[in-house]
Amino acid sequence: MGGKKKLGIKQMEKQQADKAEDDKAKKKEEKKGPPQKKTTIGVLPPDAKDQKIVAEIKKMGVLTPYAVSTRYGIRISAAKDFLEQLEANGAVQLVSGSHNLKVYKPAA
């Protein structure tokens, strides 16, 4: 007597479309592979007096805290301090800056 009601055409089409989307999403997840390894971010900046580091910095065109942070794998606050130390040593010059962002260039 009882039983499941027969679905209408639109309802059946919607179920098929939803199932197809789910299958695509599952295949996409399988293609991604294993999760990427997270890297730890250092707190201590490199030595500002090291000649090797200074030579590497001078090769970079524009220096921002973000660029230095990603290059050396340190926090942005540590990169800001590092750039201030380099400016005090005379290795870089402040080009432009506001309270948010400072842009440096290598000293000539």
Domains of the chain: 51-106 (1.10.10.10)
| DSSP result, 11-77 | HHHHHHHHHHHHHHHHHHHHHH-SPPPPPPPBSSPPPTT-HHHHHHHHHSSSB-HHHHHHHHTB-HH
Q: What pLDDT was estimated at residue 105?
A: 94
Higher-pLDDT residue of 84 and 30 is 84
Q: What is the pTM of this model?
A: 0.62
- 14-69 pLDDT, tens per residue? 999 999 999 998 888 777 767 777 777 778 888 888 889 888 988 988 999 999 99
- 49-64 pLDDT, tens per residue? 888 988 898 898 899 9
